[in-house]
Chain A
Amino acid sequence: DGGITQSPKYLFRKEGQNVTLSCEQNLNHDAMYWYRQDPGQGLRLIYYSQIVNDFQKGDIAEGYSVSREKKESFPLTVTSAQKNPTAFYLCASSINSLNTGELFFGEGSRLTVL
């Protein structure tokens, strides 16, 4: 079954702990993205990567980190520096550049910090 796989679906962490969200794709897409979805705020871009070993900050990168060591994988680490980490996180990919505007999304990961 092709697509974007995010894990875990639900995650609970104590304040001050780092947590890593997994995102894997088997679509052979070059570009991958992480968005944060909050009620009333829509989707906000955290980080994106257009090719392996390269990534750029999005609009709300503070308190987050990413890596892109493999084309298929783009994990997101929510660090203790993120002031309000409880949110729904969405990973997405696109073929290469966004000329077609089409992103393929995962099912999301809901992080709750206690």
Chain B
Amino acid sequence: AQRVTQPEKLLSVFKGAPVELKCNYSYSGSPELFWYVQYSRQRLQLLLRHISRESIKGFTADLNKGETSFHLKKPFAQEEDSAMYYCALLTGGGNKLTFGTGTQLKVEL
């Protein structure tokens, strides 16, 4: 069965420090993965998708099929990065997203 695991409920870093939010998945098919973000008092929204290989707000994520991981990284954390981050896997024949339990990122000054 498909599963998305985010092992950290809370990650606290200092401003300017590197950030890595972990995401591991299990899926028998060809994985398509995404990161969603929810800032305080805002709607949950798409941050980035692995297939685009893009950098959004300084964040990148590389799909590692060998390690079944899709960790989200940013070299220098900013205060405005504080938010809840969810990793998601496309499943159900491409018809639904399975989300992880989320990681709350707190960037301290």
Contact = CB atoms under 8 A, between A and B. Distances in A.
B56 interface: no
Contacts of B34: 101
A63 interface: no
Interface stretch (A12-20, A41-49, A68-76, A78-86): A41-49
A50 B86 CA distance: 23
Contacts of A43: 44, 86, 99, 102
Contacts of B49: 100-102
Interface in B65-100: 86, 88, 90, 94-100
A99 B51 CA distance: 10
A48 B45 contact: no
Interface residues of B, number: 23
B98 A45 contact: yes
A58 B96 CA distance: 9
A50 B95 contact: yes
Contacts of A105: 43-45
B96 A33 contact: yes
A44 B29 CA distance: 20
Interface of A: 31, 33, 35, 40-45, 48, 50, 56, 58-59, 90, 92, 97-103, 105-107
Interface of B: 6, 9, 32, 34, 36, 43-46, 49, 51, 86, 88, 90, 94-102
Q: Which 10 A-B pairs have the closest CB atoms?
A: A42-B101, A43-B99, A105-B44, A101-B34, A105-B43, A42-B99, A102-B46, A101-B49, A42-B102, A97-B94
